[in-house]
Amino acid sequence: IPIENILVISDDLNIPFGTLRLRKNGSAGGHNGLTNINELLGSQNYARIRVGIGNEFSRGQQIGYVLGELSKEEKEEMPEVSKRVIEGVKAWATIGADRAMNVVNTRPQPKSEA
What amino acid is encoded at 40 in this protein?
A: L
**Residues forming beta bridges with residue 10, ordered by sequence position:** 50
Residue 23 CA to residue 48 CA, distance in Å, equals 6
Q: What is the pLDDT of residue 80?
A: 93
pLDDT per position as a tens digit, 25-72: 988 888 889 999 999 999 999 999 999 988 877 776 777 777 778 889
Residue 34 CA to residue 6 CA, distance in Å, equals 13
